[in-house]
A and B are shown apart, each in its own frame.
Chain A
Amino acid sequence: ILNVEQSPQSLHVQEGDSTNFTCSFPSSNFYALHWYRWETAKSPEALFVMTLNGDEKKKGRISATLNTKEGYSYLYIKGSQPEDSATYLCAPLQGAQKLVFGQGTRLTINP
C-alpha cells in the first residue's frame, strides 16, 4: 500500500487569508493524483485530477501543483471564504486502478 502523507492535519485560517497544504506520495509508478473536497455531511467531490509533472490546475480561488519526480502536490486557496471549510483529501492512483487516500487536511475558515 502506498504511503500518502498530508500536512498539516488541521488548519485554522482567517477569512480572506490565503493558505496552502501539502500531499506527499511515492514518486515511483505514478499514474495520477486526485484531490477531493469533503464538506461536513456531504459526499467527497473531486476537485482536480492531475497527471503531468509540473501540471497546474485551477478552479476559481483554488489551485494545485504537481511534482511527480519528487512526489508532492500543493493545494492553494486564495482569499479563503467560510464555504472553503472542509477536509481536503489527496489520493494517488495505485496501479492505474485504485486510489490510496491520505488522512486529509481539515480546513476551518474563521469569519
Chain B
Amino acid sequence: EADIYQTPRYLVIGTGKKITLECSQTMGHDKMYWYQQDPGMELHLIHYSYGVNSTEKGDLSSESTVSRIRTEHFPLTLESARPSHTSQYLCASSEWGQGSYNEQFFGPGTRLTVL
C-alpha cells in the first residue's frame, strides 16, 4: 500500500482566501507531482518536482505555486482562491528505477470548492 497522504480531503472556502493543500510521502521518492482533475475530464499535470529545491510547471497552466524544501513534503498553495479553482487535486510520487518507468503512487486527493 502506498504511503502518500493529502490533507484536507475536502475543503470549502470563500473567494480570496489563501489556501495550502498538503501532500506528504514516506517512501523516499525523489519525484512528486500535482494533478488537477475537473469532473469527467483527464488528470492534468500542473506541477512536478524532481527533488529538493526543484519545481517545474506542468502541461496545464495553473495559478497555484508549489515548494519542495523536504523530500517527503510537496505543498501546493493558492494565494487567492477563486471559483475557477474548484476542482480535485491529486498528489503523486514516483521513483525512477530499473523497470519502474515512472510508476506513480497517488494520494487520496483534495476536493476543493471555492464559493
Taking Cβ atoms with an 8 Å cutoff, the residues of A that contact B are: 1, 4, 31-32, 34, 36, 41-46, 49, 51, 89, 91, 93, 96-104
Contact = CB atoms under 8 A, between A and B. Distances in A.
B106 interface: yes
B108 A103 contact: no
Interface residues of B, number: 24
Interface string B99-114: 0111111111100000
Contact of A42 (B4, B35, B108): B108
A1 B59 contact: yes
Given A31-B101, A49-B100, A51-B101, A44 B106 contact: yes
Interface of B: 2, 4, 35, 40-45, 48, 58-59, 90, 96, 100-109
Contacts of A93: 101-102
A49 B101 contact: yes
B40 to A, nearest CB: 7
Given A1-B59, A43-B2, A99 B108 contact: no
A99 to B, nearest CB: 6
Contacts, number: 57
Contacts of B109: 43
Contact of B104 (A96, A99, A103): A99
Contact of B106 (A43, A98, A103, A104): A43
A97 B48 CA distance: 10
Contacts of B96: 97
A32 B43 CA distance: 18
Contacts of A103: 40-42
